[in-house]
Structure 1
Amino acid sequence: MDTGICFFHSASHVYPRFPYRTWNNGKLGGRKFASLNFVGWKQRKTLICAVNKDAEKSFKKTVEVDRLIDMLRDADDKELHQLVVENVLAFNEGFWIRLAARTETCKSEDDKKDYEELAALLMSVVDRLVHKTNEKIESATDVLKAILKPVVNEEEEIEWPPRDPEALALMQKELNQREQEGHLDEGFLAEVNAQLRQAKEDGDKPGLEAMLQKVLQLYASRVLSKRSYAKKGNEILKAEQFLETLIQAPEAEWNKLLINGLTVGKGDISPEELYAVVKKRIERTLIRTEGGSYQQRILTEYLKGIQARGEEIVGVLQGGTR
Structure 2
Amino acid sequence: MAAISSVQCLSSYDSHHHYHHQRSQSGSRWRLGSRVLVSSSLCKISLLSGVYLKRRRHLMCAVKGGAAEGAFKKTVELDMMIDALKDANPRELEKLVVENILAFDEVFWLRLAARSDTCTSDDDKKDYEELAATVMTIVDCVVNMTQEKIESSTDVLKAILRPVVEGVEEISWPPRDPHAINQMEKEMIQREKQGQLDEGFLSQVSAQLRQAKEDKDKPGLAAMLQKVLQLYAATVLSKRSYAKKGNEIVKAEQFLETLIKAPEEQWNKLFLEGLTLGKGEVTPDELSSVIKKRVERTLIRTEGGSYEQRILIEYLKGMESRANDVMKLLQG
TM-score under structure 1 normalisation?
0.56
Aligned-pair identity (%): 71
**Cα distance in structure 2, aligned partners of 1:263 and 1:175:** 34
Letter paired with 1:246: L
Q: Does 1:166 align with 2:183?
A: no
User: What is the distance in 2 between the residues matched to 1:292 and 1:241?
Assistant: 29
Q: Does 1:146 align with 2:155?
A: no
Of residues 167, 170, 186, the one that matches 2:199 is 186
* Structure-to-structure mapping, 1:279-290, within 5 angstroms: 279-290=292-303
Paired amino acid for 1:184? L
Q: Which residue of 2 aligns with 1:271?
A: 284
Give 5+ residue unaligned stretches, structure 2: 1-147
Matches of 1:147 and 1:318 in 2, distance apart? 40
Name the residue aligned to 1:260.
Answer: 273
CA contact (8 A) 1:258 1:313 kept: yes
Partner of 1:214: 227
Q: How far apart are 1:243 and its partner, in Å?
A: 0.4
292, 298, 315: which one aligns with 2:328: 315
Q: Describe the superposition over 1:274-308 as per-residue Cα deviations: whole angstroms up to 9, x where unpaired.
A: 00000000000000000000000000110001111
Residue 18 of structure 1 is matched in structure 2 by none
CA distance in 2, matches of 1:281, 1:311: 17
Matches within 5 A, 1:189-200: 189-200=202-213
Alpha-carbon deviation of 1:158? 2.2
Q: How does 1:1-322 map to 2 (within 5 A)?
A: 139-154=152-167, 157-319=170-332
Tell me the distance in 2 between the aligned counterparts of 1:155 and 1:230. 41
Question: Is the deviation greater in 153-162 or in 244-253?
Answer: 153-162
Pairwise CA distance, 1:139: 1.2
- Cα deviations by residue, 1:206-247 (Å, 9 ceiling, x for unpaired): 110001000000000000000000001101100000000000
Give the conservation status (yes or no) of the 8 Å contact 1:263–1:271: yes
Q: Distance in 2 between matches of 1:159 and 1:274?
A: 34
Q: 1: CA distance between counterparts of 2:316 and 2:275?
A: 17
What's the offset of the Cα at 1:161? 1.3
The runs of at least 4 aligned residues of structure 1 exceeding 4 Å deviation read none
CA distance in 1, matches of 2:240, 2:247: 17
Aligned pair in 2 of structure 1 residues 235, 149: CA closer, same or farther (>3 Å)? same
Conservation of the 8 A alpha-carbon contact between 1:153 and 1:159 = no
Structure 1 or 2, whichever has the larger Rg, is 1
Q: 1:157 to 1:145 in 2, by over 3 A?
A: farther
Whole-Å separation in 1 of the counterparts to 2:208 and 2:185: 19
Instruction: Look up the SS of the partner of 2:271 in the other structure.
Output: helix
The CA distance in 2 between the partners of 1:202 and 1:316, in whole Å, is 34
User: Cα offset for 1:273?
Assistant: 0.4
Change (3 A) 1:307 1:140: same
Deviation at 1:155, TM superposition (A): 5.0
SS at match of 1:139: helix
Name the count of aligned residue pairs: 184
Pairwise CA distance, 1:160? 1.0
* Highest RCO, 1 vs 2 (Cα 8 Å, sep ≥ 6): 2
- Stretch moving more, 158-167 or 194-203: 158-167
Q: Which runs of 5+ in 1 are unaligned?
A: 1-135
What's the CA shift for 1:156? 5.2
Q: How far apart, CA to CA, are the structure 2 residues paired with 1:257 and 1:151?
A: 26
